[in-house]
Amino acid sequence: MKKFLQEVFTYFWIPLIMGIVSYVFFQLRDVVLGIVILIALSAVYTLIRLYLLHKKWWLLVILAVVVMAAGGYFFIRSPQAALYVNDVPVNGATVTVSGGTVSISPTPETNGRYTKGTKIILTAKPSSGFDFKSWDNTDDDSRNPTSITLKASTHVTVSFEARASLIINNQPVIGSLVTFTDGSVSINPPPGDDGKYTRGTVVTLTATAAPGFDFKNWTGTPNDTSNPIKITMDGNKQVNALFNDRFSLYINNQLVVGSNISFDQGMINASPAPGDDDKYANGTLVTLTAAPNAGYGWKAWSGTSSDGSNPTKVTITSDKHVTVTFELRFYLTLNGQAITGPSLATAHGTITISPAPGADGLYSNGATVVLTAIPAQGYRFGGWSGDVTGQITSITVLMTANKNISVAFIKTYTMNVSENPSNGGTVTPGSGTYDEDTNVVLTAKPATGYRFDHWSGDASGATNPLTVNMNAEKNIIANFVKVYTLTELINPDGAGTITPAAGGYDVSSNLTLTAAPAAGYRFDHWSGDVSGNSTSASILMDGDKTVTANFVKTYILSVSVSPTNGGSVTPSGGTYDTGTSVTLTATAATGFKFDHWSGDASGTTATITVNMSADKNIQAVFVPSP
């Protein structure tokens, strides 16, 4: 028996504890109660196991104390319950559900629970496009706000209904007919007692015009030109029914009562004719056609949509007063040809005529006709003559009599001028169009770093400026050559010359430079863009170049002997660079001895050093030896 009871506790009591505690924690959301139950049931399980093992009576006493303490806590604590709205647990002041929200007052405790017996006020707030419908499981399911006294965890349901209003011509529809000054609209089916429709209801609207009016159209419907019309109440709808008055038409102050109206100079046809009440529906488009009598022509309308056209149209939106004018007509000829349409083509150009003459090829008295000359390719407009003169391509002719006009076109050729290379310079004038046989003077101006070389294309030679006769299309190229600058420096100034002289030279030119020293100088070496110590040097002009010819100042050393047979001096003289130190040695001939130096040197020593800071004249003086 003991083993059986132990197995019962092992396989039944522990799952029971876990189930009860999980329910309290996660469904009732009462943490304190869950902890108390977990401790109490665990203690009961442990005490029973100990009692079965040791058979101590005081274990039963402790068990009784634990059971009574847990039961006491359960009965003396404030009983709590949960509230659910549409199965959403209430945890705060509002609950959002489909179709709206519900406000709750008072709010639950932090554990989402209420003390049993709490009276709670519930307020339903429908979203846009919805209406409150009803509650379920409250104190009064038809009232909003409503209340509920929470005796246990309770589920409340709120229902919202999507409903829509219909407004016609700014009047809310509350029945089956809406009337206005100029007509009425019947509604089928009418809305409910609240003046609204259940969403999705299809409503048929039928417009009926009052006497003296016509139905025009709807606005805000699926097909605003149909009558009746159906609309689906998938939201609040605002519809307008538009009606129009009927109006009269007068031509030259005569009421139009049929399709034809006659005058002394012609007749007018109106299509369509007015109704039996001699009036037109608002918006009717009436075509008016003027038919002049013999000797007259239609001139103009006044008060129509296109007063310069025949036929013309007039839209009846009020009582309309239209005037028609007939008059004498004249012809217009261009270059001896009668005008019959909107243009006249010649061998050298086209003339457009606006407006074109009437079907009879004539113009009304006082008509203004705009003639525009459009030269053919290779021609330009030359001028008007005859009954109209001028040099502008478009002229206006006033038709107060028959008119004879001539137009001239002049042959032209195009000159295309280009530069090679494109940045080598400019040519003035540039490309352009010139009259046949015009002499055009072209001037080539090289850009900095270039020189003009020659003409090519339809011109040749190097003459600048160049005269070109425009007897055909011309393509002329001004050819420029890139020039680089050769800069020559002499060091020191005036010490010599360089040939050829400094200046501009064509690109890729090979120059041979020759340095020539001035008197008293010798060439030493080149520096800059050439090097070497030969007086001649080659340089390729592939860019701007700077060369320096470096010269050295020289002085002449003249040496003599006195007497001439008294001896010799080495060296015997010569030309030396400035600053050179020259050592002179006097050697006496037989029978003589060196005595002293004279001239630009002095002393009695046979060997001396002379600094060449100027031209020197030195004499070695010998005397006979005893």
Of residues 592, 505, 593, the one with CA closest to residue 545: 505
Q: What pLDDT is recorded for position 34?
A: 63
484-513 pLDDT per residue, tens = 999 999 999 999 999 999 999 999 999 999
Q: Which residue has the tokens 């013309």?
A: 312
269-299 pLDDT per residue, tens = 999 999 887 888 888 899 999 998 866 778 8
Confidence category of residue 446, pLDDT binned at 50, 70, 90: very high
40-73 pLDDT per residue, tens = 677 776 767 777 777 777 767 776 776 676 666 6
Q: Between helices 57-76 and 31-54, what is the axis angle to 10°?
A: 170
What is the spatial distance between Cα 354 and Cα 480, in angstroms, rounded to a whole number? 52
Provide the strand spans (E) within 507-591.
510-517, 521-528, 536-540, 545-562, 567-570, 573-577, 581-588
Residue of 617 and 330 predicted with greater confidence: 617
User: CA 449, 451, 453, 457 torsion: positive or negative?
Assistant: positive
Q: What pLDDT is recorded for position 75?
A: 56
Confidence category of residue 3, pLDDT binned at 50, 70, 90: low
What is the spatial distance between Cα 166 and Cα 150, in angstroms, rounded to a whole number? 41
Q: What pLDDT is recorded for position 536?
A: 96
Cis amide bond preceding 228, omega within 30: yes
What is the spatial distance between Cα 343 and Cα 374, in angstroms, rounded to a whole number? 10
295-352 pLDDT per residue, tens = 677 889 999 999 989 999 999 988 899 999 988 888 899 998 989 899 999 889 999 9
Q: What pLDDT is recorded for position 233?
A: 87
Q: Which residue has the tokens 């200046």?
A: 503
Q: How far apart, in Å, are the Cα atoms of 72 and each of 20, 61, 68, 77, 176?
A: 18, 16, 6, 8, 70
Other C-beta atoms closer than 10 Å to the C-beta of 477 total 17
| pLDDT surpassing 60 at residue 419 | yes
- Rounded mean pLDDT of 514-524? 96
Work out whether strand 154-168 and strand 237-247 pair parallel, antiparallel, or are unpaired.
Answer: parallel
- Rounded mean pLDDT of 343-367? 88
Confidence category of residue 20, pLDDT binned at 50, 70, 90: low
Amino acid at 35: I
| pLDDT surpassing 80 at residue 128 | no
What is the spatial distance between Cα 301 and Cα 307, in angstroms, rounded to a whole number? 4
Cβ atoms 127, 137 nearer than 8 A: no
Structure tokens at 217: 């159209």
Work out whether strand 343-345 and strand 394-399 pair parallel, antiparallel, or are unpaired.
Answer: unpaired
